[in-house]
């Protein structure tokens, strides 16, 4: 297995509590978390400055910052469960996910966290899968596990469940879930989820006790795409959660692999479309998977706030040179209201790539990024996995 979990940076217990508090504060998504950490140097300092920053950004109510006692209780409950909190920058944090610009600052894991950094493939597909699709998922997942490849999936019905179960015997499976580690979903997968925790690993962004809701699943999909070297699709309708995972995998430069299906089956149209447009590799057997995957894993990436300022990228996909989170250049005074008006006119409740917002604005990358960050703090927008942003509903 790749790197040891023993080399995590030394962070005090109080700093880890503050890091958890900052990560759980409304308006502080992964992008703003990185900006705040780079600017203030620590989660504690960022938390102290946050109320003023949020008022400046237009929030009229006090920020919902979790208390020290609440987050301390959370970590005590997590420890009793046998789980771990993984901060971006920890050696136990998923290796490939550390390369994703909008990776979550904090994760919660139950099981062998080394499985999170293995050479792995995300296996995703239809919940209402056909018998043939389930057989293929079982066969390919078992062969991948036998070859030392970890199978990552989302513990949903259908393809996900078949993939996990097939890779369970050697324990080479990771379940990315949308709710808390103590919440089984769907209910019929409670036993499977427990077995994955014992033999493989469960991972989530959600606090204990969180029941999964629709808005949590894109985050779950980001984990599947970000942890894995490639994404294998078995039966996916055109407008499905599986295709969201495929989009995220592409945005993270992961290999897309698709098992072709009948053109008469709506469950195969999404995957067949990826094949027809040349976005994915046609996959029939384990040899196709092994040939498509990279043979080596990259070095672990430090968290953005742990790098020298000149190496801190603002967001994924920008065509202009990367700018430091905490050291944006001074390009002269620009009316912030004018920038905000221009940016907001390009946004809607439908997520749009931050790239597109930058390209369509007449202002600099730094001005647009700063405006989007302040709008998130003000509760106006949210960053969506895959380098996208959307207006929050009123």
Using alpha carbons, list the distances in angstroms from residue 315 to 17, 53, 101, 251, 310.
Answer: 26, 21, 6, 12, 14
Contacts of 88 (CB under 8 A, 6+ apart): 98, 103, 104, 105, 106, 303
DSSP 200-229: SEEEESSPTTPPP-GGGHHHHHHHHHHH-S
pTM: 0.85
Cα distance between residue 293 and residue 253, in whole Å: 12
Helix/strand number for the chain, H first, E second: 14, 12
Residue 199 has pLDDT above 70, yes or no: yes
Cβ atoms of 240 and 270 within 8 Å: the answer is yes
More reliable by pLDDT, 392 or 335? 392
Structure tokens at 302: 């430090």
Give residue 4's pLDDT.
40
Q: How high is the pLDDT of residue 331?
A: 42
Q: 271-276: long-range contacts (C-beta < 8 A, 24 or more apart)?
A: 271/233, 271/234, 271/235, 271/236, 273/238, 274/233, 274/246
Residues 6+ apart with CB under 8 A from 172: 115, 118, 144, 145, 148, 149, 150, 151, 200
DSSP string, 181-205: TT--SSGGGHHHHHHHHHHSEEEES
Predicted pLDDT at 330? 41
Average pLDDT value over all residues in the chain: 88
Q: What pLDDT, on the 0 to 100 scale, is given for residue 20? A: 97
- Tally Cβ neighbours within 10 Å of residue 294: 12
Give the tens place of pLDDT for each residue, 3-55: 444 344 557 889 999 999 999 998 898 888 988 998 899 999 999 999 888 88
More confident residue, 104 or 321: 104
Planar angle of CA 103, 211, 50, nearest 5 degrees: 50
Strand partners, 258: 233, 282
Rounded distance, CA 366 to CA 356, Å? 14
Q: Which residues of 39-70 are buried (b: 16+ CB within 10 A; e: fewer)?
A: bbebbbebbeebeebbeebebeeebebbeeee
Lowest-pLDDT range of 35-39, 222-226, 315-319: 315-319
Please tell me the predicted confidence (pLDDT) of residue 286. Answer: 97
Lowest mean pLDDT among 52-66, 67-81, 85-99: 52-66
Would strands 201-204 and 173-176 be described as parallel, antiparallel, or unpaired?
Answer: parallel
**For residues 339 and 279, which has the higher predicted lDDT (pLDDT)?**
279
Q: Which of the four pLDDT bands, split at 50, 70 and 90, describes residue 309?
A: low
HSE on the CB side for 237, CA within 13 Å? 10
**Alpha-carbon span 23 to 36, nearest angstrom:** 11
Q: Are strands 84-87 and 173-176 parallel, antiparallel or unpaired?
A: unpaired
Question: How would you write 148-159 as a 3-class SS string?
Answer: CCEEEECCCCCH
Distance, CA of 176 to CA of 107 (rounded, Å): 11
Answer yes or no: is pLDDT of 238 > 90.
yes
- Dist CA 79 CA 303 (whole Å): 24
Least confidently predicted of 163-172, 203-212, 346-355 = 346-355
pLDDT band at 334 (very low <50, low <70, confident <90, very high): low
Average pLDDT over residues 97-118: 95
Phi, psi of 106 (to 5 degrees): -140, 135
Asked if pLDDT for residue 319 goes beyond 50, the answer is no
């Amino acid at each position: 297995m790749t790197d040891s979990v023993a080399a995590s940076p030394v962070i005090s217990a109080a700093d880890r509590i503050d890091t958890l508090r900052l990560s759980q504060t409304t308006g502080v998504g992964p992008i703003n978390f990185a900006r705040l950490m780079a600017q203030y140097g620590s989660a504690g300092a960022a938390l102290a400055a946050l109320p003023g920053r949020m008022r400046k950004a237009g929030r009229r109510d006090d920020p919902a910052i979790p208390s020290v006692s609440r987050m301390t209780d959370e970590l005590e409950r997590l420890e009793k469960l046998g789980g771990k909190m993984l901060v971006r920058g920890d050696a136990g944090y998923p290796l490939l996910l550390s390369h994703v610009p909008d990776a979550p600052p904090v994760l919660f894991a139950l099981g062998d966290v080394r499985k999170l950094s293995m050479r792995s493939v995300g296996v995703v597909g239809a919940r209402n899968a056909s018998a043939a699709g389930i057989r293929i998922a079982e066969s390919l997942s078992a062969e991948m596990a036998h070859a030392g490849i970890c199978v990552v999936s989302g513990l949903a019905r259908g393809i996900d469940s078949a993939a996990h179960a097939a890779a369970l015997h050697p324990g080479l499976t990771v379940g990315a879930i949308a709710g808390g580690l103590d919440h089984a979903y769907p209910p019929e997968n409670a036993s499977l989820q427990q077995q994955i925790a014992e033999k493989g690993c469960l991972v989530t962004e959600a606090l204990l006790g969180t029941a999964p809701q629709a808005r949590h699943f894109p985050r779950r999909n980001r984990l599947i795409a970000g942890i894995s070297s490639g994404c294998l699709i078995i039966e996916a309708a055109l407008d499905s959660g599986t295709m969201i995972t495929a989009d995220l995998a592409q945005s993270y430069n992961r290999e897309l692999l698709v098992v072709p299906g009948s053109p008469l089956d709506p469950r195969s149209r999404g995957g067949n479309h990826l094949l027809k447009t040349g976005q994915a590799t046609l996959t029939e057997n384990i040899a196709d998977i092994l040939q498509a995957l990279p043979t080596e894993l990259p070095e672990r990436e430090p968290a953005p706030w742990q790098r020298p300022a000149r190496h801190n990228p603002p967001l994924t996909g920008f065509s202009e040179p990367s700018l430091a989170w905490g050291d944006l250049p001074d390009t002269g005074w620009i009316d912030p209201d004018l920038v905000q008006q221009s940016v907001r006119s390009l946004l809607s409740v439908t997520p749009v790539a931050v790239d597109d917002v930058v390209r369509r604005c007449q202002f600099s990358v730094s001005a647009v990024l700063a405006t989007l960050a302040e709008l998130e703090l003000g509760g106006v927008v949210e960053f969506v996995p895959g380098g996208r942003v959307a207006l929050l509903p009123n």
